[in-house]
Amino acid sequence: MRRRILQATLLAVAVTAVVLGLPLGFSALKLVQDITVNDLSTRAQQIATLLDEQIASQRPVDLNAARLAVPDGARLIVRTQAHDYAYGPDPGERPLVESVPMVQSGTVTIAAPSAPVRTQQIQVAGLVLLLVVLSAGTGMIVASVTARRLSDPLRHVAARAARLGAGDFRADPQRHQVPELDRVADALDASGAALSQLVQRERELVGDVSHQLRSRQTAMHLRLEALAATDDPEVAEEAGAALEQAERLSGVLDDLLAAATAARARDAAPLDISALLSDVAAEWREPLKAAGRTLRLKVEEELLARVTPTRLRETIGVLLDNALRHGEGTVTLAARQGGGTVVVEVSDAGSGVPDELVPYVFERGFSGHGSTGVGLALARALVEADGGRLELSQARPAMFEVFLPVARADDVLGLPWKSEPTPR
């Protein structure tokens, strides 16, 4: 996009330079020649007037009296009825010649060398060319600035749309003072809020349905087991068959929930957590430093988890932003392997979360510090979308832990940088 805007602007500047530069150059060359010719004509007219006075007073023609009006290097030629007179050197080839008539039946001709005029024309042409080059250079600078000012907001809006598709539903406060792009940004924020509520309702619905079904299923299992233990063989046989169907139903329910989780995490792939956290830490060191705080990174090497990079980056960003806004002291970002999962920890040295707020920190719309109460709820939804979980493991000082599924062996072997070296 930026290259197209730059090319279009430069093309317009080039066309303008050609359309205006060529006529301007031609007019400048013509103007130099016209000025010189007019000057020769004026000089010849002055000389003709002087000689007419000499002839009218019956004095001999004296060209010395007119030598001051003859340009340097030019030749003066006077033709009368009686004689022809000449004064000055040969002007060379292709001179500029200007003749005027005399009242006393004659002509005055001045032949000036063309070299000085050609030199002035070359200088003027160079000046016009310089102006065209300066105009093109200025146009290039303006085009570059304009292309950047237009392309950067477009890239930002595109990145915002990509984050929205990846599950980051947080509102983006940045606006670009371009009405059309700002309307798109407003629409993306509104869509993000609607999608966030939809995902939250879906997650709550799935959880409620799962809880209700399992509760009813457990009660049904107990009743069927009690009926299967009766002394009546027919009742026991029917109860056993029903119990078998109930167990199949339980297996189907587990499969459906697992399929739903897998569908949400279909974009997850083996990811080097160590490298991603290093990049995130580099992004957040400056904001923390500006607030007089430091960020400490404690990450084990070669931690591989099956996760979506964008979701994890946004989740860690939410936790670090939460530590920056509501915490104090040094912020620690750590990662380790533990219990078949990769655990990412974000903690700070602040006063932590009050006991009365601990049960509600992940509820959407709830905040004890005047914020929107959206960030932590979205962070948990992003982690759960990849099959992980986000917990507040310690209230004071606050420590959040992200539990990520470890990458499977077949996925790890499929990575190019994890393949075995070729024997020589």
What is the per-residue pLDDT for 419? 38
Residue 414, pLDDT above cutoff 50: no
| Listed residue (126, 161, 112) closest to 25, CA to CA | 126
Residue 278, pLDDT above cutoff 70: yes
Residue 57, pLDDT above cutoff 90: no
Residue 265, pLDDT above cutoff 60: no
Residue 251: pLDDT band by 50, 70, 90 thresholds?
A: confident
Q: Tell me how far the alpha carbon of residue 277 is from its chain's centroid.
A: 24
Residue 206: pLDDT band by 50, 70, 90 thresholds?
A: low
- Taking only the tens place, the pLDDT of each residue in 375-408 is 788 788 888 878 888 999 888 889 999 999 887 6
What is the per-residue pLDDT for 156? 81
Q: Poorest-confidence range of 104-113, 231-240, 383-392?
A: 231-240
How big is the chain by its Cα radius of gyration, in Å? 45
What is the per-residue pLDDT for 10? 76
Residue 266: pLDDT band by 50, 70, 90 thresholds?
A: low
Q: Kindly list the strands in the beta sheet with 295-299, ordered across the sheet, starting from the edge strand earlier in the chain.
A: 295-299, 331-338, 341-347, 399-405, 389-394
Residue 125, pLDDT above cutoff 80: yes
Residue 334, pLDDT above cutoff 90: yes
Residue 269, pLDDT above cutoff 80: no
Report which of residues 18 and 203 the model is more confident about: 18
- Taking only the tens place, the pLDDT of each residue in 300-311 is 887 888 888 888
Q: What is the mean pLDDT of the chain?
A: 79
Residue type, 72: D
Mean pLDDT confidence for 23-35: 84
- Look at the block and give the residue holding tokens 């509600």: 360
CA distance 296 to 288: 11
Mean pLDDT confidence for 37-65: 81
Residue 345, pLDDT above cutoff 80: yes
Residue 181: pLDDT band by 50, 70, 90 thresholds?
A: confident
What burial letters (b/e) apply to 327-356, b meaning 16+ CB within 10 Å?
Answer: beeebbbbbeeeeebbbbbbbbeeebbeee
What is the per-residue pLDDT for 243? 79
CA atoms within 13 A on the CB side of 254: 7
Mean pLDDT confidence for 324-335: 91
Mean pLDDT confidence for 186-203: 75
**Cβ–Cβ under 8 Å, residues 218 and 192:** no
Q: Which of 192-196, 364-368, 389-393, 405-409 has the highest mean pLDDT?
A: 389-393
Dmax (CA) of the chain? 165
Phi, psi of 269 (to 5 degrees): -150, 160
Residue 343: pLDDT band by 50, 70, 90 thresholds?
A: very high
Report which of residues 424 and 206 the model is more confident about: 206
As given in the structure block, the two tokens for residue 24 are 């301007």
Report which of residues 62 and 36 the model is more confident about: 36
What is the per-residue pLDDT for 424? 34
Report which of residues 209 and 94 the model is more confident about: 94
**Cβ–Cβ under 8 Å, residues 31 and 127:** no
| Listed residue (76, 74, 86) closest to 113, CA to CA | 74
Mean pLDDT confidence for 104-108: 81
Residue 418, pLDDT above cutoff 50: no
What is the per-residue pLDDT for 141? 84
Residue 234: pLDDT band by 50, 70, 90 thresholds?
A: confident
Give percent above pLDDT 90 in the chain.
12
Residue 260: pLDDT band by 50, 70, 90 thresholds?
A: low
- Look at the block and give the residue holding tokens 């049960």: 359
| Listed residue (330, 332, 335) closest to 276, CA to CA | 335
Question: 3-state SS string over 207-225?
Answer: HHHHHHHHHHHHHHHHHHH
What is the per-residue pLDDT for 372? 43
